[in-house]
Structure 1
Amino acid sequence: MHGDVLGTGIGSGPGAWEATVGPDHLDDPGKGLLRRDYGLVELSFSDADGPMSCFGIRIQVHRLIHGPCVPSPLIHEYGEFAPRARFEELRSAVLSLGGTIEPDDLSGDVHRYRVPESGVRIFVIDDPDPYGHGDHDADDPEIHQAGDVWALSVSPNWWGRS
């Protein structure tokens, strides 16, 4: 709803993120860019406009099903995380907080929704067997299912779009 993680968001530098989310991360640097991976939380930084600052936040919800990937500050704040998040539960939570969810792109195997109040995009699995192999077990709790949230993403280039 806020487009941040524990109060740290777009425009914050790597040091601010480390102070918020912790020191346990993997950095993947590039020329003027940095991708920082905390497991559940993935950040993109750039120095294009001055000091290195965050221009993208992605919550990789799909990683929860594979085991521990939640930074300890998030566990401390919110408790243990379930191995999956269902879109309908997320929708209910957003609506209960006074937000709205609008369809953004419903084509393809993963549908995209947006929360206009925060600029957050929600990616939801629509077809867990996109290649039609027919070996997907819809009752297996160990694999992704239709209606699971794949990821949440916020980037300032999406803010204000209608």
Structure 2
Amino acid sequence: MSDLDFYAHVATRCDVLGAGIGSGLAAWEAMVGPDYIDDGGDGLVRRDYGLVELSFSDADGLLSCFGIGVQVHRLVHGPCVPPPLEREYGEFAPRARFEELRSVILSVGCTVEPDDLSGDIHRYRVPESDARLLVIADPDPHGNGDHDVDDPEIHQPGDVWALSISPAWWRPR
């Protein structure tokens, strides 16, 4: 399996190694490991595993996950993949191309459709899971002119920035 298989799995199945929306802190630790940073207060906890970032709420009395983010953009800055993910999926590339991820998602029978193409980050939706894919459209949104389009070590247009899973964040308002 590959890093693209991991991203496609998250985008289509909305879980990481079996833990997903509604799973508690202990379930996530059992699946993804003990190497994380928790930041929280007022009934909310953000758990940061590097590549994977989770949001928990105690709205139902127990802390349960209500949001999963896969922060692909962090990989260009160095290793941040939890060991259980590396064991399952192998080495993760520093960047992921949207068209390659889209192809893997289509190959498992799901679709990808535009959700919001108006900014420097374009948002796409996987209707079958309601996952969102955030894709870099403009790597130099402030027009500084210091972006080297030929440098493979930095973000480029068409790179996946992140994946976002959260029924609470994306439901109609």
* TM-score strictly above 0.5: yes
Corresponding residue of 2:55: 44
Question: Is 1:7 equivalent to 2:18 in the alignment?
Answer: yes
1:148 aligned partner: 159
Quick one: distance in 1 between partners of 2:169 and 2:128? 11
Structure 1 position 67 matched with structure 2 position 78 = yes
Aligned match for 2:28, one of 5, 17, 39: 17
Which residue of the other structure, out of 75, 87, 103, is the alignment partner of 1:92?
A: 103
AA paired with 1:53? S
Name the CA distance, whole Å, in 2 between partners of 1:41 and 1:160: 22
Number of aligned pairs?
A: 161
Rounded to whole Å, the distance in 1 between the matches of 2:49 and 2:26 is: 14
Greater helix fraction, Structure 1 or Structure 2: 2
TM-score by length of 2: 0.90
Shift of 1:78: 0.3
- The Cα shift of 1:157 comes to 2.6
Deviations 1:17-44 (A, max 9, x none): 0000000000001110000000000000
Match of 2:90 in 1: 79
Mapped to 2, the partners of 1:24 and 1:124 lie a distance apart of: 27
2:40 alignment partner, SS class = strand
Runs of 4+ displaced beyond 2 Å:
157-161
Q: CA deviation at 1:97?
A: 0.6
Name the residue aligned to 2:128: 117
Give the deviation of 1:142 after TM superposition.
1.4
Please tell me the root mean square deviation across aligned C-alpha atoms, in Å: 1.1
Instruction: Tell me if structure 2 keeps the 8 A contact 1:116–1:160.
Output: no
* Inter-partner Cα distance in structure 2 for 1:84 and 1:150: 9
Cα distance in 2 for residues equivalent to 1:33 and 1:52: 8
TM-score (norm 1): 0.96
Q: In the alignment, what sits opposite 1:57?
A: 68
Unaligned runs of 5+ in 1: none
Q: Distance in 2 between matches of 1:131 and 1:16?
A: 41
Consecutive unaligned residues of structure 2, counting only runs of 5 or more, are 1-11
**In the TM superposition, what is the alpha-carbon distance from 1:135 to its structure 2 partner?**
1.4
